[in-house]
Amino acid sequence: MKQDIHPEYHQNAKISCACGNEVTVGATIEEISVEVCRVCHPFYTGKQKLLDAAGRLERFKKRAESKTAIASVRKGKKAKNVVRAAKRKQKEAAE
């Protein structure tokens, strides 16, 4: 077996959560920072909480709104044909 290949083990590594909770465990890293822990996680607390990481929730809502808008406009037609028809109507209204 190879010698000296294992990382250094810290007996009192500190894990700190965004909610302020701190836990001491053994790990190969001295300090660990996490966003959600057992004290603030919705599964363990029973409270509904939306976790948004880097605006993903807004992007999902925006994508969902655009898909429902397209679906309501389509009604069996292709999206390109709907856009072309709308442009024709705008041209006719302008003339």
Phi-psi region of 40 (alpha: psi -120 to 50; beta: other; left: phi over 0): alpha
For the segment 29-68, what is each residue's pLDDT rounded down to a tens digit?
999 999 888 888 877 777 766 665 667 777 888 888 777 6
Whether the Cβ atoms of residue 24 and residue 12 lie closer than 8 Å to each other: yes
Question: How crowded is residue 13: how many other Cβ atoms within 10 Å of its Cβ?
Answer: 16
Start and end residues for every CATH 4.10.80.400 domain found in the chain: 1-51
pTM flag (> 0.85): no
Tens-place pLDDT, residues 58-94: 788 888 877 766 666 555 556 677 778 888 888 887 7
Q: What CATH number matches the domain at 1-51, 4.10.80.400, 1.10.10.60, 1.10.540.10, 3.30.70.1290?
A: 4.10.80.400
